């Protein structure tokens, strides 16, 4: 359940998940780096003649928050709710880091859409329940501060739900509140280029660092196809867990 701008929202499965990047022992960032990504789309009978592209979308991302190392199931202990002091990935604080909180609202995916990006910094959020790979989180925030409207005022005024639209929607203010369940769905492992079997290396790395189960789907990415300087760089293996193959 998401409350934001007065729309009825549905969580977009697959795109909404906990994600972690793992470095190998020789890489620049050997410590796990955690992400939480959530995507929502407006639903309800009023949208039944609109494709996905014509509907409002809302994105939430929390990056680089701390989770007790050693086991992915330690996600159950994450609690950054109303914590007055928290560390930041920008400083050397010993305090646990609640992550960097960002949100983006798109009135649609079309060229004339309204877009609002908000950077809030510290996030007020916690895990309230964990059932196997499914993690229920609670989050509150406000998009008033630090937001940036991308697009012309005309676009914003005519977007569905805007104050100047034909039938103004009760936007419900700028507050964001959500209580949603998302899976621990993706591990991206950094693998040395000379690994004999990059897929096996990635699975072993994930198992050792986080005790992950066998992946449902694996994808090998080699950035040297796009960047010449990456020819001596690492490979990346995406391990999709608990049912999502990625798009």
What is the binding site for other proteins (CB under 8 A)? Answer: 10-15, 39, 41-52, 54-55, 110, 132-134, 160, 166-167, 181-183, 197, 199-200, 213-220, 242-245, 247
Q: Note whether 162 and 154 are within 8 A (CB).
A: no
- 57-65 and 147-150 beta bridge pairing: unpaired
Nearer to other proteins, 179 or 199 (CB): 199
Residue 13 Cβ vs other proteins, minimum distance, rounded to whole Å: 5
Q: Which residue is it, tokens 């899976």?
A: 183
Nearer to other proteins, 146 or 192 (CB): 192
Phi and psi torsions of 150, nearest 5°: -105, 120
Nearer to other proteins, 175 or 197 (CB): 197
Give the HSE-up count for residue 6: Cα atoms under 13 Å, Cβ half-sphere.
Answer: 10
* 164/153 Cα distance (integer angstroms): 10
Residue 130 Cβ vs other proteins, minimum distance, rounded to whole Å: 13
Nearer to other proteins, 60 or 215 (CB): 215
* 169/54 Cα distance (integer angstroms): 17
Residue 183 Cβ vs other proteins, minimum distance, rounded to whole Å: 7
Residue 218 Cβ vs other proteins, minimum distance, rounded to whole Å: 6
Nearer to other proteins, 55 or 97 (CB): 55
Residue 64 Cβ vs other proteins, minimum distance, rounded to whole Å: 24
| Residue 23: partners with Cβ closer than 8 Å, 6 or more residues away | 29, 30, 31, 190
Total residues belonging to the chain: 247
Q: Note whether 193 and 24 are within 8 A (CB).
A: no
């Amino acid at each position: 359940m998401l409350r934001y701008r007065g729309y009825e929202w549905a969580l977009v499965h697959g795109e909404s998940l906990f994600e972690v990047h793992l470095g190998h022992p020789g890489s620049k960032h050997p410590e796990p780096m955690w992400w939480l990504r959530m995507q929502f789309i407006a639903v309800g009978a009023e949208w039944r003649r609109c494709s996905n592209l014509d509907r409002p979308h809302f994105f939430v991302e929390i990056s680089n928050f701390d989770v007790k190392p050693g086991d992915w199931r330690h996600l159950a202990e994450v609690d950054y709710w109303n914590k007055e002091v928290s560390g930041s990935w920008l400083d050397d604080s010993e305090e646990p880091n609640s992550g960097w909180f960002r949100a983006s609202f798109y009135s649609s995916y079309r060229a004339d859409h309204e877009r609002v990006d908000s950077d809030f910094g510290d996030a007020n959020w916690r895990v309230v329940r964990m059932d196997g790979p499914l993690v229920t989180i609670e989050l509150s925030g406000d998009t008033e501060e630090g937001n940036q409207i991308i697009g012309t005022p005309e676009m914003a005024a005519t977007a569905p739900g805007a104050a100047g639209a034909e039938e103004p929607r009760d936007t419900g203010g700028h507050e964001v509140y959500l209580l949603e369940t998302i899976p621990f769905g993706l591990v991206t492992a950094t693998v040395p280029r000379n690994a004999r079997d990059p897929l096996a290396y990635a699975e072993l790395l994930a198992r050792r660092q986080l005790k992950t189960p066998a992946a449902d789907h694996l994808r090998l990415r080699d950035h040297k196809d796009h960047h010449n300087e990456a020819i001596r760089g690492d490979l990346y293996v995406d391990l999709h867990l608990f049912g999502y193959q990625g798009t």
